[in-house]
């Protein structure tokens, strides 16, 4: 394996930070979040999973999708663009897999140009996990804590530094000036959970749609949006115009959640999903039935953030186990 020392790695990242926007895990008041950093000394290395996935850098929580200006009698439209190429350092395999899941939707015709541009202009430097977290279940969904298939470069912590695996041409293009030493052996295997979570097959889901199980599960749901916002694969969004100055308007796209009561309510007042049960059930069906049926991949990567954060312990692993035995 090719190994880089930590010092060399840090120096290399500092050099990259001069040419690219470097986004890396950063300690923000005790929470690890992927934020732009000016240099490698700001990067946090000691963490299992960031509080929010890097999804926000591809589908931002709020972004301007059009600038609308009034020019005399007419209107001029402008489409904003990313200024600089970016590198996301320290992305975990589950979060990288989540981007593949979103690709299946956003890069399918008609292509979402804002997402596509961000994907194209970003190089992903993955960081393999040493061990799966308590709530993690990536291995049940075809992933792994050291899965390199969705990143451009994969780093694994080894004795004396980091093993560096070049995965794609994009990764190769930036790794040239990182000093690497050939060392005997391979990176250590991560510690994984023995037991896997049963993921019910596509055909298993429709028959349970009208089970009372969902109403009982939804009894305790608060209809907050936590799970959808921390989830690396959830993507529902809202679009609205806001004046940004006297003559200019911005069309904004922002995160929305299918769990919100008014999510489907039309202006006249009609709401096809008025109950908590219908909305909560929709989220599970969207992830494990609708999304894979329509776009291919299951819309869950087993990161466990929803499990960690749900205030009332609606545990997606428990739900999957229950559905498998319903």
Partner 1 sequence: MALKNPYRPYLGTLVGIKDLATNIKLFQVELNDPQEREAFTYRPGQFAFVSAFGVGEAPFSITSSPSRSQVLEFAINRVGTVTSALHRMSEGDVVGIRGPFGNGFPLEEMEGKNIVILGGGIGGAPLRPIIHTVIDNRSKYGKLTILWAARNPSLLIFTDEFDEWRAAPDTELHLTVDRADETWTGNVGLITELLEKVAPSPENAVSITCGPPIMIKFTMLTLKKLGFAPEQMIMTLEAKMKCGIGKCGRCNLGDKFICTDGPVFNYAEVSEFLESF
Partner 2 sequence: MIDQIRAKARELLESGQVSCVIGYEEGTRGRVRPAFIYKPEDVDRLVWNERCIHNLVVYLRQFARPLKRGEEPPRVAILVKPCDSRSLNVLLQEKQVERERVYVIGLACEGMRVDGQLQERCQRCEDRIPLVYDLLVGEKPQTVGHEDYADVEELERMSPRERLDFWLRELDRCILCYACRQACPACYCSECVAEQLDPLWMGIAIDLPRKWFFHTMRAYHLAGRCAGCNACEQVCPMDIPLSLIYRKLVKEVETLFSYKAGLDAETPSPLATFEKGEELPL
* Binds 293: which of partner 2, partner 1, none (CB < 5-8 Å by kind): partner 1
- Member of 260, 278, 282, 296 binding partner 2 (CB under 8 A): 260
- Member of 252, 280, 303, 323 binding partner 2 (CB under 8 A): 252
| Residue 311 contacts partner 2 per CB under 8 A | yes
Touching partner 2, residues 119-158 (CB under 8 A) = 134-135
Of 69-77, 86-94, 136-144, 166-174, the window that binds partner 1 (rule: CB under 8 A) is: 69-77
**Residue-wise over 194-233: b if at least 16 C-beta within 10 A, else e?**
eeebebbeeeebeebeeeeebeebbeebeeebbbbbbbbb
Residue whose structure tokens are 């749901």: 221
- Helices then strands, each counted (H, E), the chain: 10, 12
For residue 31, count other CB atoms closer than 10 A to its CB: 12
| Residue 301 contacts partner 1 per CB under 8 A | no
Instruction: Check if the beta carbon of residue 158 is closer than 8 Å to that of residue 5.
Output: no
Touching partner 1, residues 87-106 (CB under 8 A) = 105-106
* Binds 286: which of partner 2, partner 1, none (CB < 5-8 Å by kind): partner 1
| Residue 71 contacts partner 2 per CB under 8 A | no
Touching partner 1, residues 29-58 (CB under 8 A) = none
- Member of 44, 51, 192, 258 binding partner 2 (CB under 8 A): 51
* Binds 244: which of partner 2, partner 1, none (CB < 5-8 Å by kind): none
What's the token pair of residue 218? 């939804």
| Residue 263 contacts partner 1 per CB under 8 A | yes
Sheet harboring 237-243: ordered strands across? Answer: 74-78, 62-71, 248-255, 237-243
CB of 219 to partner 1, least distance (A): 20
- Member of 191, 239, 312, 324 binding partner 1 (CB under 8 A): 239
| Residue 226 contacts partner 2 per CB under 8 A | yes
- Member of 113, 179, 185, 274 binding partner 1 (CB under 8 A): 113
Residue whose structure tokens are 């931002």: 60
| Residue 65 contacts partner 1 per CB under 8 A | yes
Classify the phi-psi angles of 224: left when phi > 0, otherwise alpha if psi is within -120 to 50, otherwise beta: beta
Longest CA–CA separation in the chain, Å = 71
Q: How many CA atoms lie within 13 A of 188 on its CB side?
A: 12
For residue 142, count other CB atoms closer than 10 A to its CB: 14
The DSSP line for 139-196 is GGGT--TT--TT-SEEEEEETTEEEEEE-SHHHHHHHTTS--EE-SS-PPPPB--SSP
Q: Which residues bind partner 2 (CB under 8 A)?
A: 28-31, 33, 51-52, 61-62, 134-135, 216, 219-220, 222-226, 229-230, 238, 240, 242, 252, 254-256, 260, 262, 276, 307, 309, 311-313, 315, 317-318
């Amino acid at each position: 394996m090719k190994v880089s020392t930590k010092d060399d790695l840090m120096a290399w990242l500092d050099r990259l930070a001069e040419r690219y926007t470097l986004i890396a895990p950063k300690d923000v008041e005790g929470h690890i979040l992927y934020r732009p950093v000016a240099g490698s000394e700001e990067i946090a290395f000691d963490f299992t999973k960031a509080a929010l996935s890097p999804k926000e850098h591809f589908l931002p929580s709020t972004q301007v999708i059009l600038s609308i200006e009034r020019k005399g009698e007419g209107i001029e439209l402008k489409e904003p663009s990313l200024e600089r190429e970016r590198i996301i350092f320290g992305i975990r395999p589950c979060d990288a897999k989540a981007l593949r899941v979103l690709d299946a939707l956003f890069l399918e015709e008609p292509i979402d140009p804002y997402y596509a541009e961000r994907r194209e202009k970003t190089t992903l430097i993955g960081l393999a996990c040493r061990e799966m977290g308590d709530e993690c279940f990536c291995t049940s969904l075809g992933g792994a804590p050291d899965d390199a298939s969705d990143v451009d470069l994969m780093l694994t912590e080894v004795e004396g530094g980091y093993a560096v695996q070049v995965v794609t041409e994009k990764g190769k293009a930036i790794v040239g000036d990182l000093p690497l030493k050939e060392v005997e052996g391979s990176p250590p295997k991560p510690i994984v959970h023995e037991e896997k979570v049963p993921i019910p097959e596509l055909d298993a889901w429709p028959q349970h749609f009208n089970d009372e199980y969902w109403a009982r599960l939804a009894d305790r749901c608060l209809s907050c949006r936590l799970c959808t916002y921390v989830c690396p694969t959830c993507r529902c969004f809202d679009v609205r115009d806001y004046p940004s100055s006297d003559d200019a308007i911005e069309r904004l796209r922002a995160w929305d959640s299918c769990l919100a009561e008014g999510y489907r309510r039309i202006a006249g007042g009609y709401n096809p999903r008025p109950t908590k049960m219908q909305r909560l059930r929709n989220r599970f069906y969207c992830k494990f039935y609708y999304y894979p049926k329509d776009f291919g991949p299951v819309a869950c990567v087993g990161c466990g953030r929803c499990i960690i954060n749900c205030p009332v312990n609606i545990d997606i692993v428990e739900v999957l186990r229950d559905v498998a035995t319903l």
